[in-house]
């Protein structure tokens, strides 16, 4: 089985430059917001005397990104991905650049709200639309490659930020570096990113997208009548606890069980690296079978990874546990837009993705608090991690009601 079959209609065109830029944007946005979050917890606690619960509560402002998602998705359907992507990166740059100036806890919360409010617009929303338009017949594997940026950010950002904090003995410098990178990527996105135009190759992609994906315009009242909508929204909401409860606190968990910080950082690197493979491999399988079945495998794999992480402790097997969890956790981000497109098509993708993302306000709002309370009240994150594993089991069961759209036309990729 050759995932990159030369006969596959991927082709080399402007779309690949768009994919590279989207990859880098996702790497910076997700890597700095999720994977590297734990590296700032202890420095901020020492600097300002804030508890871990107070610091972790800033992740709850991911809920703001969920609440703004319907508006952002509607704008993307109307004006395209480029304006959303550029403006989101600029907002994130401002949010990072101002952090060295903060002196109060509410400053931390306001800047976190600014950062997380723009997160979806810098990563998953543009990727979903652009890949669907440029690579309609191979969107599974190309979506996987594009969203590998999330894990590439997780692979590189914790190391780079850790080096910045260590070499300068100042968390402020690390935030300045991230702000500068976001500004540079905003400029690059403005120059490079665009949607298919009128030339023959690009128009062929648009025509294939219209044939391959349902081109129906969905109204909100129609979504409310669809059991598939509720099943997908609930499953995605539960799935996002992997970011807010586990990913943001697993570094601190490893340190708490007497694993050296350098080894803990390497565990995150293993997690991110394996997640890159998970995105492409499971993304490929969505071209062969319904995405909901692949998503079920993703949830079961994460459950197994969580159990192993908790059972193995600080033994050598922790490397395997993180690799397993990372493989399936990494694929989740790529499967989400594919699941939405598989069920509702591409024409109203931004709007529907926005509405579904709004439901994740629960996971982004309560996930960090759940982790913080687990530590402050019980002395560890174990209970929080176990509860998330249970949520993944519920999500797997719920996806039985997420049917592929009967109007969706599929084409087999040879």
For the CA atoms of 243, 399, 81, 96, the dihedral, rounded to the nearest 10 degrees, stands at -10
Domain with 356, as residue range(s), is: 14-401
Residue 183 inside a domain? The answer is yes
Residue 4 inside a domain? The answer is no
293 half-sphere exposure, CB direction, 13 A CA radius: 8
Q: What is the pLDDT of residue 345?
A: 78
Q: What is the DSSP letter of 9?
A: T
Give the mean pLDDT per block of 10 residues along the chain (414 residues): 43 79 91 81 85 81 78 86 93 93 91 88 86 85 88 82 78 90 95 73 48 54 77 92 85 82 82 88 90 95 94 84 92 90 80 84 83 87 94 94 59 36
Percent of the chain predicted with pLDDT > 70: 87
Under a CB-based contact definition with an 8 Å cutoff, are residues 393 and 89 in contact?
A: no
Alpha helices in 49-193 (DSSP H): 52-56, 62-79, 81-97, 105-117, 119-122, 124-134, 139-168, 171-192
* Element spanning 38, H or E: helix 37-48
CA triplet 334, 340, 342: central angle to 5 degrees?
95
For the CA atoms of 26, 29, 30, 33, the dihedral, rounded to the nearest 10 degrees, stands at 180
304 half-sphere exposure, CB direction, 13 A CA radius: 12
Give the sign of the dihedral formed by CA 279, CA 343, CA 226, CA 292. negative
Residue 241 inside a domain? The answer is yes
Q: What is the CATH classification number for the domain harbouring 296?
A: 1.20.1250.20
Domain count, the chain: 1
Closest CA to 356 of 166, 173, 170, 226: 226
Question: 219-240 burial, b if ≥16 CB within 10 A, otherwise e?
Answer: eeeebeebebbbbbbbbbbbbb
Q: What is the pLDDT of residue 218?
A: 57
Residue 409 inside a domain? The answer is no
Residue with tokens 């890949």: 131
Main-chain dihedrals φ then ψ at residue 161, nearest 5 degrees: -70, -40
Residue 240 inside a domain? The answer is yes
Residue 103 inside a domain? The answer is yes
Tokens of 249: 């606190």
171 half-sphere exposure, CB direction, 13 A CA radius: 21
Q: Is the pTM of this model over 0.85?
A: no
11-35 residue pLDDT tens: 456 788 999 999 999 999 988 887 7
382: which residues sit within 8 A by CB, 6+ positions away?
253, 310, 374
Residue 412 inside a domain? The answer is no
Cβ neighbours around 311 below 10 Å, total: 11
Under a CB-based contact definition with an 8 Å cutoff, are residues 21 and 192 in contact?
A: yes
Under a CB-based contact definition with an 8 Å cutoff, are residues 226 and 407 in contact?
A: no
């Amino acid at each position: 089985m050759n995932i990159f079959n030369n006969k596959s209609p991927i082709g080399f065109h402007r779309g690949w430059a768009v994919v590279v830029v989207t990859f880098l944007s996702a790497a910076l946005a997700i890597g700095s917001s999720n994977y590297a979050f734990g590296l700032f917890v202890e420095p901020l606690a020492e600097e300002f005397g804030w508890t871990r619960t107070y610091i972790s509560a800033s992740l709850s402002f991911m809920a703001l990104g969920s609440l703004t998602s319907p508006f952002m998705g509607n704008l993307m359907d109307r004006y395209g991905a480029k304006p959303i992507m550029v403006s989101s990166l600029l907002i994130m740059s401002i949010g990072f650049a101002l952090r060295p100036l903060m002196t109060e806890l509410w400053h931390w919360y306001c800047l976190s709200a600014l950062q997380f409010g723009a997160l979806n617009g810098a990563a998953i929303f543009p990727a979903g639309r652009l890949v669907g338009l440029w690579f309609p017949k191979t969107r599974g594997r190309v979506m996987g490659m594009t969203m590998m940026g999330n894990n590439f950010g997780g692979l590189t950002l914790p190391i780079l930020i850790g080096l910045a904090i260590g070499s300068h003995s100042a968390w402020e410098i690390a935030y300045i570096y991230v702000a500068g990178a976001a500004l540079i990527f905003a400029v690059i996105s403005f120059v490079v990113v665009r949607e298919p135009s009128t030339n023959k190759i690009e128009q062929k992609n648009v025509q294939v997208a219209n044939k391959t994906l349902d081109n129906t315009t969905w109204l909100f009242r129609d979504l409310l009548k669809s059991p598939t909508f509720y099943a997908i929204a609930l499953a995605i909401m539960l799935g996002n606890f992997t970011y807010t409860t586990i990913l943001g606190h697993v570094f601190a968990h490893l340190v708490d069980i007497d694993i050296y910080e350098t080894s803990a950082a390497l565990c995150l690197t293993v997690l991110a690296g394996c997640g890159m493979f998970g995105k492409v491999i499971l993304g490929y399988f969505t071209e062969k079978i319904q995405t909901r079945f692949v998503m079920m495998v993703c949830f079961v794999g994460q459950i197994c990874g969580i159990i192993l992480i908790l059972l193995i402790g600080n033994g050598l097997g922790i490397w395997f546990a993180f690799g397993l969890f990372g493989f399936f956790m990494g694929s989740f981000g790529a499967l989400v837009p594919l699941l939405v497109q598989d069920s509702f098509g591409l024409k109203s993708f931004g709007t529907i993705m926005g509405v579904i993302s709004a439901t994740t306000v629960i996971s982004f709002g309560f996930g960090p608090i759940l982790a913080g309370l687990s530590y402050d009240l019980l002395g560890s994150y174990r209970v929080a991690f176990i509860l998330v594993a249970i949520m993944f089991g519920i999500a797997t069961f719920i996806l039985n009601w997420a049917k592929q759209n009967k109007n969706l036309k599929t084409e087999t990729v040879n």
